[in-house]
Amino acid sequence: MRPQERLAGLIEPVVGGLGYELVGIEFDAHQRVLRVYIDNETGITLDDCSKVSYQLSGVLDVEDPIPGRYQLEISSPGLDRPLSKLEHFARFKGSLARLQLVRPIDGRRKFKARLAGVEGDCVLIQEGDETLRIPFESIEKARLAPEFGS
């Protein structure tokens, strides 16, 4: 099991049990910061972050999935929300997103394109007139790209 999967397995039940959706997990090894992104239908407040932080700290202290000291940050996903599950790509169909792949497809690892939905285990993105099928497991990072109208 990859470290990210182990972390998600520890964190998701706590976050879900408190009534929130686990949107994503990032560990910055250089700064030693574990970021946990949570959301719910009414948005996230500072009290929500504090509640999750308190519950999660206890579990992470006992399970000790990350050796050494690190800082735990709980946050709302923000406008550039991470997309870490197939359901996220389906939910935000029509939105602009940035994707970074593990390995290049047609010589490219980075894409900025419209989400066109999900088909099986592939994320569909629209670049101009072309729809590309990106296997979900080949996506290293993905985030919404905020658009500001005039």
For 20-59, the pLDDT digits (tens) are: 999 989 889 899 999 999 999 888 999 999 999 999 999 9
**In this predicted structure, what is the pLDDT of residue 148?**
85
Q: Facing residues of 35 across strands?
A: 26, 73
Taking 50 as the pLDDT cut, the residues of the chain under it are: none
Q: 150 in a domain, yes or no?
A: no
Q: Are 22 and 15 in contact (CB under 8 A)?
A: yes
One domain, residues 64 and 104: no
This model's pTM is above 0.85: no
Q: 80 in a domain, yes or no?
A: no
* Separation CA 47–CA 49 (nearest Å): 5
**In this predicted structure, what is the pLDDT of residue 149?**
72
Q: Are 14 and 56 in contact (CB under 8 A)?
A: yes
**In this predicted structure, what is the pLDDT of residue 3?**
66
Q: Are 68 and 27 in contact (CB under 8 A)?
A: no
Q: 63 in a domain, yes or no?
A: yes
Q: 126 in a domain, yes or no?
A: yes
One domain, residues 47 and 70: yes
CA atoms within 13 A on the CB side of 42: 5
